[in-house]
């Protein structure tokens, strides 16, 4: 794409979002750094620091006490404005749900730290609802041995596991399929805070792009899609998303 300055990129991204009918948003760890949760591959991320031989930074707040930040609320606002068709997230922090996004509009492809799921009926439930005590039965991952006395699904009696997708685990089939369909049918696909290297989740922007969607990426650092994206913001999300949202609101009011 021809060169555009930051203001021009913000104006064009806002125009596309305001005019979109099937906007899909895709978020990675960078969306939650403003909540005190470190990312992985950002300039000071967990894996970046590890590769430099540096110790990981301690989270500013415990994960289970983190609260949604303006990035999460901006996406929720897009939903309230009727602009959001679907949200796909790689994050397990549960902050999108806390910001008001209902599960029927949200695919958490790597799980949610607050929820378990049943392998038989596929229902999600809080650990408290499942009466699962981590001190007694551990974290409940798929690979953990099954004990006779551990709780089962209160809905169907099936085996319940931690919804977090551990290394080597399959992604939740239903949410993965829905994400692929929504990506394929999107007209604008907005990436917020992901380096887009963890597949199959990171395949979604490619699916959208190949099917004609306008691709917008907000990520500090390179992604594999930088050569095909329509607009790339190599900036902090906090410097880009708020002015985009202001423009979207202006355009939506005047239309």
Cα–Cα distance measured from residue 132 to residue 138, given in angstroms and rounded to the nearest whole number: 9
Contacts of 66 (CB under 8 A, 6+ apart): 32, 35, 36, 37, 59, 93, 95
Catalytic residues: 110
**Radius of gyration of the chain, Cα coordinates, nearest whole angstrom:** 19
The residue to which tokens 């949760």 are assigned: 37
Q: What φ, ψ does residue 217 adopt, rounded to 5°?
A: -120, 125
Q: Which residues contact 97 (CB under 8 A, 6 or more apart)?
A: 103, 106, 112
The pair phi, psi for residue 10, each rounded to 5°, is -60, -45
Residue 166 backbone phi and psi in degrees, to 5: -80, 165
Tracing tokens 């790689």 back to the chain, one arrives at 90
Regarding beta strands 188-192 and 23-27, do their DSSP bridges make them parallel or antiparallel, or are they unpaired? parallel
| Alpha carbons 220 and 223: distance in angstroms, whole number | 9
For residues 25 and 218, the answer to whether their CB atoms sit within 8 Å is no
């Amino acid at each position: 794409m021809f060169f555009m300055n930051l203001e021009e990129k913000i104006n064009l991204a806002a125009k596309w979002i305001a005019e979109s009918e099937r906007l899909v948003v895709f978020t990675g760890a960078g969306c939650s750094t403003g909540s005190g949760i470190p990312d992985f591959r950002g300039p000071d991320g967990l894996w970046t620091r590890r590769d430099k031989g540096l110790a990981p930074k301690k989270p500013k707040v415990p994960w289970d006490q983190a609260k949604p930040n303006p990035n999460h609320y901006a996406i929720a606002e897009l939903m309230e404005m009727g602009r959001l068709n679907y949200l796909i997230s790689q994050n397990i922090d549960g902050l999108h749900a806390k910001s008001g996004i209902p599960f029927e509009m949200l695919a958490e492809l790597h799980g949610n730290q607050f929820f378990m799921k049943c392998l038989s009926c596929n229902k999600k439930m809080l650990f408290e609802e499942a009466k699962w005590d981590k001190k007694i039965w551990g974290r409940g991952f798929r690979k953990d041995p099954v004990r006779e006395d551990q709780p089962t699904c209160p809905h169907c009696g099936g085996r319940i596991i931690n919804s977090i997708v551990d290394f080597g685990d399959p992604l939740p089939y239903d949410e993965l399929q829905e994400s692929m369909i929504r990506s394929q049918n999107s007209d604008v696909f907005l990436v917020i805070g992901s380096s887009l290297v963890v597949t199959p989740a990171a395949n979604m922007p490619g699916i959208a792009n190949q099917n004609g969607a306008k691709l917008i990426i907000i990520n500090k650092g390179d992604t594999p899609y930088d050569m095909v994206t329509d607009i790339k913001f190599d900036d902090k999300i906090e410097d880009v998303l708020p002015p985009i949202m202001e423009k979207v609101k202006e355009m939506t009011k005047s239309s």
